[in-house]
Amino acid sequence: MIKKFLLILFGILCITNATAQRRISGIVTDMNNEPLPGATVVVKELSTLGAVANVDGHYELRLPDNKDYTLMASFVGYIDVSKKVSDKQEDVLNFQLTENSITLDQVVVTGTRTPKLLKDVPIVTRVISDLDIKRMDATNISDLLQTELPGIEFSYSMNQQTSLNMSGFGGNSVLFLVDGERLAGETLDNVDYSRLNMDNVQRIEIVKGAASSLYGSNAVGGVVNIISRESQEPWSVNVNGRYGAHNEQRYGGSVGFNAGRFNSMTNVQYTSIDAIDLSNGTDNEEVGDYSMIYGNSTLNIKERLIYTPIDNLKFTARTGYFFRERNSSESQKERYRSFTGGLKGNYNITDKDDLEVAYSFDQYDKSDYLVFGDLDVRDYSNVQHILRALYNHTFADKHILTVGGDYMRDYLMSYQFTDGGSYIQHTADAFAQFDWNPHKKFNLIAGLRFDYFSEAKLSHLSPKLGLMYKLGNCSLRGSYAGGFRAPTLKEMYMNFYMGNIFMIYGNPDLKPESSHNLSLSAEYMKGNHNLTVTGFYNIVDNRITTAWNQALGGQVYTNMSRLQVMGVDANASGKYRCGISWRLSYAYTYEHIKKGEPMLSATRPHTATARIAYDKDWNNYGLSVALTGRYLSKLTTDVYTEMTSYEQTEKQTYPGYTIWKLSFAQRVRNGINITLVVDNLFNYRPDYYYSNSPSTTGTTFSVGLSLDIEQMSKK
């Protein structure tokens, strides 16, 4: 948008300067002959001369003389078109632009912490766009990530809690951010993914591989950054609802306005789903490791207010409340709450310097609601206060130096500590990164970060080096990055009598997990097609896990021996003028541990996702049809025959599966959107429900309706 604005501004300036001999005019349209207002037409030979297309796509400019000139039309999201004008030609010159197939004009921030075009980022970044989210009518992030990316699997861990595996890395090794901010709280090493609803999300950026040089602890295996949408319309009101199988209900709404120097967006979403009886329709009550998925409900409220007192200064205030209740029995409901707030100032000191100062607060509580006695008793609270400063300086209009630092106060009270006690840890870090662009075809990025953790008495350095070289239609990228994860307060101080059965002890002497990540990638683009292949290799030292300790007669947190995780990600996509697009992604992951040690992997070696879609917009009707599928190969792994002794293992095989989803999203008139989704199209049902089986009971349907009131009020 900013780019568009600048182009328009540039155009206006140019028009006022255009006071010469020959008048050239015409229309800029897309391939459907729809006008492209705001498209720019510039004269290549005269860098100050250009024009901007008006609402009808019409442009007009005056050339100083009758010499030969080249005119170039451009528009965000479209491929530039150049045409020559000679004195013999007529004075009308029309342009028809082709949409850029693979939104490479997309701006991303996660890989470098500064806004950069996707095609210019030296760190491989995958983007899930708002169209992808809308098409799928996605409610939560787990469903969306699994549909869009191979190598990602959400399954259940103990106590039916959600657990992530991303190419060999678990929930605590993948850092989840919302607009760059961390989330407090975890359950069995995973953040509460249901906090990350897809309401008002602009895009999701996924960077695989270590990123601790920018993000510090937890960015061992990757970063997932959810970017919120800023309201652009003068005002906007949306109400939406969805109904699906198992009485799944979703109701949401948003109100946004853009008035003078204020911009505000408020979102509310409520979801609920009944318990799912997996034995339904079978004569067997014990259909697997689990046979009943608990029902639950969530409420998510977000508010963000942006105030721009002067043009180069922006303040963003945000606050949020999240509530989830899980119906695990008639006597007891587990409750999860979060309170979030933040204040951020962005100051563009000069064209070359900008500064961000931010404070962020996140509290995540767990409590048990006891029906007998009507008591809501909290037994877990994680409170994080973070202060951050980030400064960018641009040298010679192209090299960017980024320096920054954070301070975090991390408070954790937990029922897993002695007498439900609490601990506090202070962490501080400083980082610097230099993004060097000596040539438009070559980019080098280097970064270093220092982290300090008070309770763990830990200092850690994380380096990064990334290179990109563009060769014709190819972009080659290579990087080395260090990752680490500091032992958490939970891992250091746990003292918990697990279900009155056995003890789990923390270990204050834990070493941090660390990783070395090497990645090589080649991207090929031509016209409507894009092919990217990435190979990666990770060495992971001191991964933190629990192991049985005979002397203590319980489980103790401990560091694992060296592990290697390597693999290949491949992605091919195409997008055509007629509205058809497709994407095929495949991931192969291989984990290796010292010979003689059992390989207790939970990572499926082969996974793939596929999508074919048709998107078309007419005046009063828009249609998006998408067929998406995901394939997960079978997994054969070692499991210990006894939990209290690690002498014997046996092979366990988890079956592979394929699931397809069909979605129809329709826009009727302006602002009325209806979405129909058929999930598990071919009625797949596991023979036995393992914790990593999909919790499906067969084909399901859902229908959603979304009304954009401000658009309905337009003609």
Partner 1 sequence: MTVSQKIISLLTGVIALLSLSACNGIFEDIYDEPLAEENNEYGFIFVDSMTNTGRIYIDATDYTEWHYIDLHGKEVTTKSVEEPSPSNWDFAIHRYDAKTNGGAVAESNATDIMAVPNISTIPEEAYIVDEWTSDQITIDMSQMMDGVIIYAEDYYNPCLSKWLNVDTSTMPPIYTLSGKVYIFRLSDGTYAALRLSNFMNDAAVKGFMTIDYLYPVQL
Per-residue x/- track, 195-234, partner 1 (CB under 8 A) = ----------------------------------------
CA angle 120, 124, 130 (to 5 degrees): 85
What does the DSSP assignment read for 201-270?
Answer: EEEEEEEES--HHHH-TTTTSEEEEEEEPPP-SSEEEEEEEEEETTTEEEEEEEEEEEETTEEEEEEEEE
Contact letters for partner 1, residues 621-660 (x by CB under 8 A)? --------------------xxxx----------------
CB of 369 to partner 1, least distance (A): 9
| Distance of closest approach, residue 318 Cβ to partner 1, in angstroms | 13
**Interaction of residue 286 with partner 1, rule CB under 8 A:** yes
Residues 226-285 that bind partner 1 (CB under 8 A): 279, 285
Q: Closest approach of Cβ 363 to partner 1, in Å? A: 5
SS3 for 693?
A: coil
499, containing H or E segment: none
Q: Which stretch binds partner 1 (CB under 8 A): 52-60, 296-304, 367-375, 457-465?
A: 367-375
Size (the chain), residues: 715
The kind and range of the H/E element at 273 are strand 262-273
Where would I find the beta strands (DSSP E) of 274-374? 276-277, 292-293, 295-310, 313-327, 332-348, 353-370
Q: 86-90 contacts: CB < 8 A, separation 24 or more?
A: none
Q: Which of 35, 37, 341, 463 binds partner 1 (CB under 8 A)?
A: 341
Figure out which of the listed residues 367, 392, 601, 609 binds partner 1, where binding follows CB under 8 A.
Answer: 367
Distance CA 541, CA 631 (A): 30
328 counts as binding partner 1 under rule CB under 8 A: yes
Tell me if 695 contacts partner 1 by CB under 8 A.
no
Write out the two tokens for 415.
């029922």
State which of residues 283, 311, 373, 596 lies at the interface with partner 1 (CB under 8 A).
Answer: 373
363 is a site residue for partner 1 (CB under 8 A): yes
Please pick, from the candidates 109, 131, 313, 612, the single residue that binds partner 1 as defined by CB under 8 A. Answer: 313
Both tokens assigned to 205: 């950026």
**Is 159 a binder of partner 1 (CB under 8 A)?**
yes
The type of residue at 649 is T
Return d(Cα 353, Cα 117) in angstroms, integer: 19
Task: Kindly indicate which of the ranges 9-17, 50-58, 212-220, 407-415 contains the residues binding partner 1, using the contact rule CB under 8 A.
Answer: 407-415
Q: Phi and psi (nearest 5°) for 217? A: -60, 145
Single residue of 290, 505, 524, 660 touching partner 1 by CB under 8 A: 290
Question: Closer CB to partner 1, residue 205 or residue 325?
Answer: 325
Least CB distance to partner 1 at residue 103 (A): 35
The span from the CA of 590 to the CA of 593, in Å, is 10
To partner 1, the closest distance from the beta carbon of 235 in angstroms equals 27
> Segment 98-157, which members bind partner 1 (CB under 8 A)?
none
Taking residue 89's Cβ as centre, other Cβ atoms within 10 Å add up to 12
Q: Pick the binder of partner 1 from 219, 220, 383, 626 (CB under 8 A).
A: 383
Report, in Å, the least distance between residue 5 CB and partner 1: 24
- For partner 1, the binding residue among 45, 233, 376, 617 (CB under 8 A) is 376
CA distance 118 to 586: 20
Is 286 in contact with 278 (CB distance < 8 Å)? no
Segment 490 to 509, residues that bind partner 1, using CB under 8 A: 499-502
For partner 1 (CB under 8 A), the number of binding residues is 58
Confirm or reject binding of residue 330 to partner 1 (CB under 8 A). Answer: yes
Choice from 48, 329, 454, 473 touching partner 1 (CB under 8 A): 329
Q: Which is nearer to partner 1, 135 or 318 (CB)?
A: 318
- Report, in Å, the least distance between residue 196 CB and partner 1: 21
- Please tell me the distance from the alpha carbon of residue 188 to that of residue 172, in angstroms, as a whole number: 9
CA angle, 185 then 189 then 190, to 5°: 65
160 binds partner 1 (CB under 8 A): yes
Pairing of strands 554-559, 502-505: parallel
Phi-psi region of 150 (alpha: psi -120 to 50; beta: other; left: phi over 0): beta
Q: Give the CB-side neighbour count of residue 385, counting CA atoms within 13 A.
A: 5
Q: Of 1, 2, 259, 310, which lies in the binding site for partner 1, with binding defined by CB under 8 A?
A: 310
Binding status of residue 353 toward partner 1 by CB under 8 A: no
Distance from C-alpha of 430 to C-alpha of 432, rounded to nearest angstrom: 7
For residue 454, which phi and psi values (nearest 5 degrees)? -70, -45
Q: In whole angstroms, how close is the CB of 579 to partner 1 at the nearest point?
A: 45
Question: Which range in 141-149, 261-269, 327-335, 656-664 contacts partner 1 by CB under 8 A?
Answer: 327-335
Pick the binder of partner 1 from 413, 456, 489, 494 (CB under 8 A).
Answer: 413
- What are the φ and ψ backbone dihedral angles of 143, each rounded to 5 degrees? -60, -45
Check if the beta carbon of residue 402 is closer than 8 Å to that of residue 392.
yes
Residues that bind partner 1 (CB under 8 A): 158-160, 279, 285-286, 289-292, 309-310, 313, 315, 328-332, 339, 341, 343, 345, 347, 357, 359, 361, 363, 365, 367-368, 370, 372-373, 375-379, 381, 383, 385, 387, 409, 411, 413, 415, 420, 422, 499-502, 553, 641-644
